[in-house]
Amino acid sequence: MKLNIIPDKDGFFGAYGGQYISEELKEEFNRIEKAFLEAKNDSEFNKELDYLLKNYVGRPSPIYFAKNLSKKYGNNIYLKREDLNHTGAHKINHCLGEVLLAKRMGKKKVIAETGAGQHGVALATAAALLGLECDIYMGEVDVIKEKPNVDRMRILKANIISVKSGAKTLKEAVDEAFIAYMKDYKNTMYAIGSVVGPHPFPMIVEYFQSIVGTEAREQFIEQAGVLPDMVLACVGGGSNAIGLFNGFIEDNEVEIFGVEPLGKGEKAGQNAASITYGKDGILHGFKCKLLQDDKGNVLNAYSVASGLDYPGVGPKHCYLNEIKRVKYVTVNDVEAVNAFFELSETEGIIPALESSHAIAYAIKLSEKVKNKNILINLSGRGDKDLAFILENFSR
């Protein structure tokens, strides 16, 4: 199976993706696409990006054989250590790419939304480094809840715009960031936080995240001597997952699992498992599997891991689900929190609650399969989750 999937000329992966935006904005997005396609073939652009990934982010991130966890569960469990990157997660990979692209296009400012603040911190970091202004839209509820990340962004000189409409969380932040962007797109670049949004953003973010899978495939073969039997990653919008999956998508013998957040359960509004429970719909300018009620109203998404609670999901994941190349499965809050403690206690690695979903699924799989080589994307570290965990789940 040849699966180096790229979108068609209108930005669709099968039935998903596209550009559901105004004609005016389409023209601008076409300029961004053109600039991106030129940049990725430009040796100067790549030289700067490669230098920063190596010496600023600390790539390549290692693959670590989790010996204690492996012994306990009867499988060989390996972790791709994106938690060791500067700023603590995979998001810096695409933020650097997006800000370099914005700079190349002569933009003065980047605009983005953030939920838990992880994307905001990574973007503010890249903007500080590369000398661009940075406006971050964040729901008022999240501004209060995620104070440590808000403090980081302020120190990095980002402007935080506290959004007071609707439920005052991520969805409203995206809505308002988009309105602000449309008023000033000539001088600014929308720097989206995952493989979502109108074409060409899913393609651009995927490109910058694919380094994860490229490195991982080579490292895995070097350490284990074979390809993994199974590859796992958590799926919010889907950027860390697609980055890792791309390294193995053409290896038919590798089983691939995308782990969605089941939150408190399968009832509407209690989870953020968009592929598992969503129906085709349009949100924020693209078509995807979308959590919605019978009338087509977008549901609030919920997960204990705020980086996963988006009601939509990247278009390529919807397509990979449809062609059955990737299996999308779920893990609930309790299972994720248990995995958070399990990895901390057995390996001395505190994972992000998002990444804990992927670890939890490997543990679940271990009830059924033994002696398999399993590779998990450890998308980020759990420092940001400590206060929340101690308050709600301390043992």
Q: How many residues at the interface with ligand PLP, by CB under 6 A?
A: 19
Among residues 91, 168, 171, 384, which one is catalytic? 91
Q: What is the Cα 179 distance to its own chain's centre?
A: 23
375 forms beta bridges with 78, 231
Known catalytic residue at 91: yes
Check binding of 379 to ligand PLP (CB under 6 A). yes
Closer by beta carbon to ligand PLP, 238 or else 311 = 238
CA distance 112 to 89: 17
Cα(101)–Cα(252) distance, rounded to whole angstroms?
A: 34
Rg (CA), the chain: 19
Q: How far apart are CA 332 and CA 395, in angstroms?
A: 19
Q: Does residue 194 touch ligand PLP according to CB under 6 A? A: yes
Residue 283, both tokens: 């949100």
In whole angstroms, what is the distance from residue 273 CA to residue 266 CA? 9
Catalytic residue among 80, 103, 107, 113: 113
Residue at shortest CB range from ligand PLP:
380
174/176 Cα distance (integer angstroms): 6
Q: What is the dihedral of CA 221, 224, 225, 230, to 10 degrees?
A: -70
Asked if 307 interacts with ligand PLP (CB under 6 A), we say yes
Q: How near is the Cβ of 241 to ligand PLP at its closest, in Å?
A: 6
Closer residue to ligand PLP in complex, CB, 7/238: 238
By the rule CB under 6 A, 235 interacts with ligand PLP: yes
Among positions 354, 374, 376, 388, the unique one binding ligand PLP when judged by CB under 6 A: 354
Site string for ligand PLP, 145-184 (x = CB under 6 A): ----------------------------------------
Active site residue 379: yes
Cα-based distances in Å from 12 to 20, 236, 250, 264, 317: 11, 20, 20, 32, 12
- 12/138 Cα distance (integer angstroms): 29
Span of 31-39, 64-72, 234-242, 332-340 interacting with ligand PLP by CB under 6 A: 234-242
C-alpha 70/C-alpha 189 separation (Å) is 44
Residue 60: cis peptide before it, omega within 30 degrees of 0: yes
Which span (139-147, 159-167, 235-243, 365-373) binds ligand PLP, by CB under 6 A?
Answer: 235-243
Q: In this structure, what token pair is assigned to residue 73?
A: 């569960």
Q: How far is the CB of 273 from ligand PLP (least distance, A)?
A: 12
Binding of residue 239 to ligand PLP (CB under 6 A): yes
Exactly one of 89, 100, 212, 365 binds ligand PLP (CB under 6 A); that residue is 89
Indicate if 255 belongs to the active site.
no
- Active-site residue list: 91, 113, 379
Interface residues toward ligand PLP, by CB under 6 A: 89, 91, 118, 194, 234-241, 307-308, 352, 354-355, 379-380
